[in-house]
């Protein structure tokens, strides 16, 4: 029970950090990356899985905040979403439902 509420709080904080990252990105992409870093730490500590819609907002290889058309490329192929990170030049795949 206690753990559940801790996870809920952590999730709220993670969501908040991602929305802050989104706002910060335009003027300071490095700050956005820091928000991602903080969000990941919170999630890890609470043993929380970052929701799927937020997983697409950062690179799982270099953990940078990603904005399609700016620092990442998005395509779909065979029912999958493919994200290409321009920083580390690696791909992430997400199944499309």
Query: Which residues of this protein are in contact with Zn ion, per CB under 5 A?
Result: 59, 61-62, 85, 87-88
Q: Smallest gap, in angstroms, from Cβ of residue 72 to Zn ion? A: 8
Residues 66 and 59: beta-carbon distance below 8 Å: yes
CB-nearer residue toward Zn ion: 15 or 87: 87
* Three-state secondary-structure class, residue 70: coil
Nearer to Zn ion, 10 or 57 (CB): 57
Whole-number minimum distance, CB 82 to Zn ion, in Å?
13
Q: Are 19 and 53 in contact (CB under 8 A)?
A: no
* Shortest CB 8 distance to Zn ion, Å: 29
State the Rg of the chain over Cα.
Answer: 14
In the bound state with Zn ion, the residue whose beta carbon lies nearer, of 2 and 89, is 89
**Cα dihedral sign, 12-17-94-68:** positive
């Amino acid at each position: 029970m206690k753990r559940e509420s801790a996870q809920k709080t952590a999730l709220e904080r993670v969501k908040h950090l991602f929305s802050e990252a989104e706002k910060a990105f335009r003027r300071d992409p490095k700050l956005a990356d820091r928000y991602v870093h903080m969000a990941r730490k919170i999630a890890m500590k609470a043993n929380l899985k970052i929701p799927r819609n937020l997983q697409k907002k950062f690179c799982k290889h270099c953990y940078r905040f990603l904005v399609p058309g700016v620092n990442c490329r998005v395509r779909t192929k065979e029912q999958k979403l493919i994200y290409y990170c321009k920083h580390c030049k690696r791909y992430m795949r997400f199944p499309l439902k």
